[in-house]
Each structure stands twice: as structure tokens, then as C-alpha cells.
Amino acid sequence: MRHYGTTADGAAVEEYTLGNDAGLEVKLITFGGILTSIRVPDRNGRLVNIALGFDRLAKYEAEHPYFGALTGRYANRIAGGKFRLDGVDYQLFKQDGLSSLHGGEVGFDKRIWAARRVERGVELSYLSPAGEEGYPGNLKVTARYRLSEGNVLRIDYWAETDAPTVLNLTNHSYFNLMGEGEGAIYDHVLTLNADNYTPTNANQIPTGEIASVAGTPFDFRIPKAIGPGQRSAHQQIIMAKGYDHNFALNRAGLSEGELGFAARVYEPRSGRIMEVWTTEPGVQFYAGNFLDTTLVGASGRLYRQSDGLALETQHFPNSPNQPDFPSTALRPGQRFQSATEYRFSTD
């Protein structure tokens, strides 16, 4: 552990480093629970950082697209920034005037988390007071990061509340398996374990439909490169300027809380492979549509559109306003628990 920096309002931020005998190295900071670096070997053993991000705290404090951050209380979008729970209406902060995104104006990605070392990892905790960003209930949240000798980065999440609330937690890392700053992810080969996805309207809010991926650019059940679909003329792709959609994962035969296969990414030049396994019902595949050259990454190189991809394991966007989606309600006496694993290997 080392001192990473001091925020503009004087709070100390610490950095933790996790490693294993295979040479994998993961760095995270207590500001936003942000994964700042994930160094992974290629087929020749060459280690590079595959996570997009910055080289200093001030850049994470400034506006950015949630690089590496824990997002909540509610990851992804809530339409109109409002929802009704148990007959009570709640109004949240709306970033774009249309919806609440990733927890609001000051979400979990901008909070200082308490940290303690655990076996092979770090455990972060945060108490979100009732009314923060408009959400009801005092919410106690824990996120544990662990790196195994088997090259698995695992994040476990737990939460408890003293009043009914809604909750959706994820990590918003952007990956480029060629290396951070090494160009577009168009040639990355993606597999998604999903027969269906949730189409969105022009404001990126799910319509409520759960649609088949068959015959569309959203069909990643057979591995394929990202580029052709990202540039397709499908209406959903045009409206979102690329892939930015929730996929309903195939979880038939799995019990609640059991890890299931969600996604696999393969980068042919380096041979790097990343598999994503999760207990969550969905994953948001975002192909970096709005990355632009105002962002200079840790390598000193500019980020451009589609220079990274995110696979955000989650409950579905806008679930509090969609009764047919899996529920995100959390009540006193219940304990929210989920886990996601990123499994790294080479061909």
C-alpha cells in the first residue's frame, strides 16, 4: 500500500497492489474503488496494462467515463431519474436532464472507500447515508478484490440497508487486450452467452422488450470480431453510436448466487484471453462509443472512439421502472450479494 494522492478537498487516497507468481499485477485506489492498472502477459510472457485509465488522481477527480470505477448506488440508467418503491416516489439527480446514470452526480465512483488487506486482496467498504443522491435508506456496501494464482481477478459485492431501496453494483473497467492506448478493439473477438438483449430508445433507456439476438449484430453466441457490428446500419447501433446495450445472460440450470459464463474476449495478435463469469443476470457491452481525443491515458496516448470495451455485469438498466425485469429492490433484513470473475489466459 502507498499514498496515491490527495483530493482537491484534502482527503488522502491510497493505492493497493495485488500480484501473483505468474506476473499478473492489479492496482486499485480507494477513490471510487478504481482499478487503475491490470498488467497481464501475452502469449510470449510480455506484460502490459490492459485497463484504460489515468496516471494521476486529479484526472480521476475530473469528469471521465468511469474508468475502472465501482458504480452505484444504481449502475447504468434510471429513466427520468425517478422510481416508485412500496408506494413512495423518489427523485434522483439527472446528469443529462433525462436520466440518472451510475448513481448520480457524486456516485460511488467519486467516494473515498475505507480499505483493509485480506488474504490475496483488498476489501473496500462505504456507508451511503439515507438521502445521498436521492436514494432511501442507509446502505452499507462492501467490495472485495482478490487475485488468485490461477490468474483470476474476483470482485465480491455485499450490501445491507435499514430501509427499502434499490441497488445495482458493478465495476466499469475498460479493457483493450492489445494494451492500454494501443488502438481500437475492432479486431477483438467477442463471445456473449446471451440469447436475448434489451433494446433501447433514443435516450438509451430500455423499452421493456427482451428481444432475440438472432439475425442481428447483437448475436455473439458464436465468437466474432466486434468491428463489423460496431459499424453496422442496425437502428439500435445507429442510435447508440455503436454497442451500448444490456444482454440478458443465459442462466438456465444455475442457482441464485452461482457463477455462470457471461463473456469471452480474445485478441488475436497478443493471444490474450479474458473470460467473464458472474452471478448477475445481465452484462452491459459498451464498445467505447464516446471515447474521444480529449482523454489522455496513463501511457500518454490519446484515447479515441472504441479504444476500449466495457463488460459491466449487472441487473438490467431501469429495472425499478420495469416490473418484468429482475428486481433490484433491497429491503431491511436482506443481504445483497454478487460476484464477478475476470479469468485471464493466452492461446
In the chain, what is the straight-line distance between the N-terminal and C-terminal CA atoms, in Å?
33
Query: What's the mean pLDDT in 271-289?
Result: 98
312 is catalytic: yes
Residue closest to 144 by CA, chosen among 115, 124, 169: 124
Query: What's the mean pLDDT in 257-285?
Result: 98
Residues 304, 184: contact at Cβ < 8 Å? yes
Residue 252: burial class (beta carbons within 10 Å; 0-12, 13-18, 19+): exposed
In the predicted model, is pLDDT for residue 97 greater than 90? no
More confident residue, 98 or 233: 233
- Cell numbers 421502472 correspond to what residue? 321
Minimum mean pLDDT range among 92-96, 204-208, 276-280: 92-96
Q: What is the CA radius of gyration of the chain?
A: 19
**pTM, entire model:** 0.97
Percentage of the chain modeled with pLDDT above 70: 100
Q: Say what the pLDDT of residue 294 is.
A: 75
Condensed to tens digits (0 to 9), the pLDDT of residues 55-82 reads 999 999 998 999 999 999 999 999 999 9
Integer CA distances (angstroms), 78 to 90, 104, 203, 238, 337, in order: 11, 10, 11, 22, 21
Can you list the alpha helix ranges (DSSP code H) found in the chain? 57-61, 227-230, 235-240
Integer CA distances (angstroms), 347 to 32, 47, 149, 267, in order: 33, 15, 18, 9
Q: Which of 172, 188, 245, 315 is catalytic?
A: 172
Q: Which of 132, 160, 267, 312 is catalytic?
A: 312
Mean pLDDT of the chain: 97
**Which domains are delineated in the chain?**
2-346 (2.70.98.10)
